[in-house]
Amino acid sequence: MSGLVWKAATYRFLDTFVLIFPFYTVMFAENGMGPAQIGIALAAWSLTGVALEIPTGALADRVSRRWLLFAAQVFRGGGFLVWALWPGFWGYLIGFVLWGVKSALVSGTFEALLFDDLKAEGREQDYARAIGRAQTGRFMGLMSAALIASAIAGVGNYALTLISSASSLVGAASALLLPKAPRAARAQRADYLGVMRRGVVEAVQRPGVLSILLFIALMQALLAACDDYWQIFGRDVGLERSQIALFVAALGAGQAGAAVIAHRAPLTRSWALPVWVATAGLVLTAAAGVFEPWVSVPLAVLFTAMCIVALVQADARFQHALSGEARATVASVKGFASQCSITLLILNFGLVAHVSDYRTAFLVQGVALTLLGSAYVWLTRRPAAT
């Protein structure tokens, strides 16, 4: 890997090297929060992203992207500190708002920094490989944190949360090692609202952008609605606390491996990607249907790995469809659409789990993802049939 990709992968590794990750929804449940309250707290993270996604993307086309990535980690570290000092619904809610600020600052900013630096080197065709390597770093961080958390699970949630707050500062420092990505000349000259307006117009009017943007947004939303509940999934299929952390580590390992090879996946045909997504939905449906650890755990790992392959491939198509003059802004339009969808689906997940159980909520997500992929298969093949 080049120096740029190593630095990007390091930032993403430290972004997820957080010891409380394998336990935080279980921690919420242990502190008396029901499914609906957990859904509301998670939705606070997503709603914050909805409010800030496009403005922070436009900001990233105007100011230093490295310092925005630095600030992102500081905000989330502050959120973990609130969790440690104020364990309860309101403390967790405030922590998620700060986490939402972090997510909004990172999403379009990181992608644009990586693509524009590769473009400056004449290597933009390597973006799928580079973002895959960066995603590998992210999931390796998750896996490493989960393995360590499994070994020291007995120290308790308070200690793990404090350590997570401190580790966020290390992640913040790593952002300053990233290069200063060149920005498009028009984005540098334009006013803030002008950049935002141009980014939204490009997302809507540029051929091929809107369809892949909406597909990514919905796919990310369905995946994200599951992501925060995998710990409870592990608990409900019968895993012990240390085994839950190992399960999360296995999820990270599967996602890391998928990210490494994602750019090689044979999904170049327009219909191949949605077929892949529909198949992933069937895998999740099977995992929730069986709901036994010896079957459901490996199927869950397979499902998340398949989703990472799909997201890397879809993101590469999205980035290549853009003109580049307001890349971070348009990427944040995608993030905005994702966050809107995530908010609704997280609340829906919590509501379904509240009136039934978590198993049913996972089953609903699997069916929805299968329907999403199937609908896009029909849409992509429809022109050929007319």
How far is 174 from 7, CA to CA, in rounded Å?
8
Counting the structural domains of the chain, the total is: 1
pLDDT category of residue 386 using cuts at 50, 70 and 90: very low
Check pLDDT > 50 for residue 137: yes
Chain segment 188-217, per-residue pLDDT in tens: 444 556 656 666 776 666 766 777 788 888
Range of the domain at 225: 3-385
* Average pLDDT of the residues of the chain: 85
By mean pLDDT, which of 162-171, 196-205, 268-277, 366-375 is the weakest?
A: 196-205
How far is 43 from 253, CA to CA, in rounded Å?
27
Chain segment 88-108, per-residue pLDDT in tens: 999 999 999 999 999 989 977
| 3-state percent helix, strand, coil for the chain, nearest multiple of 5 | 85, 0, 15
Instruction: Tell me what pLDDT residue 112 has.
Output: 82
Q: What percent of the chain has pLDDT over 70?
A: 87
- What CATH number does residue 258 fall under? 1.20.1250.20
Q: What percent of the chain has pLDDT over 90?
A: 45
Side-chain-facing half-sphere of 83: CA atoms under 13 Å: 32
